Amino acid sequence: MKNKSLVSITDYTREEHIQILNLAAEFEKHPIQKILEGTVVATLFFEPSTRTRLSFESAASRLGAKVIGFSDSASSSVQKGESLRDTIMTVSNYADIIVMRHPKEGSARFASEVAAVPVINAGDGSNQHPTQTLLDMYSIRKTQGKLDDLNIAFVGDLKYGRTVHSLVMALCNYNTTFHLVSPNDLKLPSSVKIHIKDKNLHYYQYTELVDVIPKVDVLYMTRIQKERFSDPIDYERVKNSYILKNHMLDTSKPNLKIMHPLPRVNEITIDVDKNPKAYYFEQALNGVFVRQALLASILGVK
């Protein structure tokens, strides 16, 4: 994986995914390893973030790297009209690797084509979020003991949810049964469903959350992505479609884990947090180990 950009989850093979997960497990045991001293990591966030940016910066710090970048493009020369191309070409001269989030689909691929250093896609519009997928896979393997033969429900905004798109594609490498719960207007795009069909796997579509709870090993809740709607009225219509409450979990399997890439708005009530099946905050912690593994692998020190 040395010098290999990660733009789409499919840029890395199933074997490379597993290598990252195994290395992340090593970093979980020994998180402080100064193996990237003298290295500079650039985090360029053109869109808001808490977990992805801070866990990348935490990962880089724990490995001894320095971090440069911005969390708001309004504080960069983009504000003066500088193009993405010129920004990336410039930052390539200052850093050994670029971690970028941008609201436009395809922007990360474009950046990887013009950059002189590897680029990690930290989310490009509603397209992909591959590093989230690797931490989701890590979390599934850690809690279920396997990645194969699982029933996984994806709930909420399956149309605009980039974490869903990347994770569905990655899980097509395993014998996953997909349960897709969404309002009719927010169904999983056919460009993602084709990956399921190509592997002869099964998916089932629902509009009611209660229908899937007893069936699944993982309940992957997602936020309705308000920022992707062009008409606010459309958002208002679907914003409260799914709200998971603690009592709804009474019929769930003993091994169920509730995951969510976060941030949440109102789709999981606070009373679920104390349920041992809630896993979303541990999931976010796993992001540090997975991002340590990615930085170390791409920068060629592991």
| Site residues for ligand CP per CB under 6 A | 49-52, 123, 129, 132, 261-263
Rounded-to-integer distance, Cα 184 and Cα 238, Å? 10
User: Please, which residue, 177 or 283, has the CB nearer to ligand CP?
Assistant: 283
Nearer to ligand CP, 285 or 301 (CB): 285
Toward ligand CP, which CB reaches closer, 48 or 300?
A: 48
From the list 129, 179, 223, 260, the catalytic residue is: 129
Q: Which amino acid is at 240?
A: N
| Residue 167 beta carbon to ligand CP: minimum distance, rounded to whole angstroms | 11
247: tokens are: 């009592």
User: Is residue 215 among the annotated active site residues?
Assistant: no
Minimum CB distance to ligand CP, residue 7 (Å): 16
Structure-token pair, residue 296: 């170390």
Query: Which one of 53, 101, 260, 291 is the catalytic residue?
Result: 101
**80 catalytic residue (yes or no):** yes
Return the closest-CA partner of residue 268 out of 289, 285, 288, 283. Answer: 283
Annotated catalytic residue, options 51, 142, 187, 193: 51
Pick the catalytic residue from 29, 30, 80, 247. Answer: 80
Catalytic site residue 129? yes
- By beta-carbon proximity to ligand CP, the closer residue of 52 and 252 is 52
Rounded to an integer, what distance in angstroms lies between the CA atom of residue 279 and that of residue 274? Answer: 10
Q: Are 4 and 299 contacting, i.e. CB atoms less than 8 angstroms apart? A: no
Q: How far is the CB of 223 from ligand CP (least distance, A)?
A: 9
User: DSSP 3-state assignment of 100?
Assistant: strand
Tell me how far apart the alpha carbons of residues 35 and 40 are, in angstroms, rounded to a whole number. Answer: 12
- The least distance separating ligand CP from the CB of residue 109, rounded to whole angstroms, comes to 18
- What gap in Å lies between CA 273 and CA 124, rounded to an integer? 29
The residues carrying an active-site annotation are 51-52, 80, 101, 129
